[in-house]
Structure 1
């Protein structure tokens, strides 16, 4: 037992209920990770703010899911890999791309490949990108603002990756078809 309770709409502290209601309205359910964060309304509020900021970025929903999925694979978080695989597919990311990222690789789609590559480079180098990596990203049609927006995605996803592992959050039924075992998957590496 980890001591982390998964709150529901009925049991969550008052300060978390509006956020959980909004998540439930958007997804049709409240994923377990948000139920864990709900125990600390300030933490749930911070996570919701980061997610809202990332959702408002110039990345498409599918691109945001590639950033989240790549980060989750890098951080070896089975819960988040399953969730973001499910969401990526729902946002029209092709199954081949989802499988490639889940296996520690990159998409064959040029734009998604560039996004995934920079995400991995940032994670592996803890942000210490070289000029050539930044130039490659910008030469692919991106702007410096995209790098900053990508950092928002990495930050929010790292929060949920770590919380999922610390609390040993059980997989939601909605994500079961995309279950993932980190022990059988290599840690991705940037080229």
Structure 2
């Protein structure tokens, strides 16, 4: 398998460096996935713009982490599952809910369950929701704008999940306890 470099600010293409700086500011370090993505300035800049919009949107950070973890599991991206499991716990998601998502289930908390179910359904059906799918999400207390916003989160996940599966970066040691291998 091809080995993709994990770039730092010093080794990344010049057109990728601003995006890496922004991600470093957000996380306090450059995640390995971002270092790998920065091989393509187009891809890392797309991710950085989506990242900023998603994290500046109307969902809370715990809700975003439920979505990102669900997407990572649904797309079977091992790096992203480990990383977002850690971030979900750090953002107050119950360990039992994180475990449920990691095992293909739904969180017990109703709004988190609605978010997770919608994200998984969107990915699995390639966006072809039924009226029942939409109705269940709306009945959980969300509106149409939030349904569309979930698509933005899925788009950001598609970048990291697909690129993570292609580049296969190592999970950083602080997240080792959350390592995941597709069952």
- TM bracket, shorter-chain basis: over 0.9
C-alpha displacement of 1:105: 0.6
Name the structure 2 match of 1:110.
110
Alpha-carbon distance in 2 for matches of 1:73, 1:48: 21
C-alpha displacement of 1:3: 3.7
Q: Is the 8 A contact 2:65 2:88 kept in 1?
A: yes
TM-score, normalised via structure 2 length: 0.95
Q: Map residues 15-164 of structure 1 onto 2, 5 A cutoff.
A: 15-164=15-164
C-alpha displacement of 1:38: 1.1
Q: Give the CA RMSD over aligned residues.
A: 1.2
Q: Deviations over 1:160-183 (max 9, x none)?
A: 111111112111123212101113
C-alpha displacement of 1:29: 1.0
Alignment size in residue pairs: 183
Gaps of 5+ in 2: none
Gaps of 5+ in 1: 184-191
- Structure 1 runs, 4 residues or longer, greater than 2 Å off: none
Q: Is the 8 A contact 2:63 2:112 kept in 1?
A: yes
TM-score, normalised via structure 1 length: 0.91
SS in 1 for 2:64: helix
C-alpha displacement of 1:25: 2.1
C-alpha displacement of 1:54: 1.1
Alpha-carbon distance in 2 for matches of 1:47, 1:25: 15
Q: Is the 8 A contact 1:2 1:168 kept in 2?
A: no
Q: Is the 8 A contact 1:13 1:39 kept in 2?
A: yes
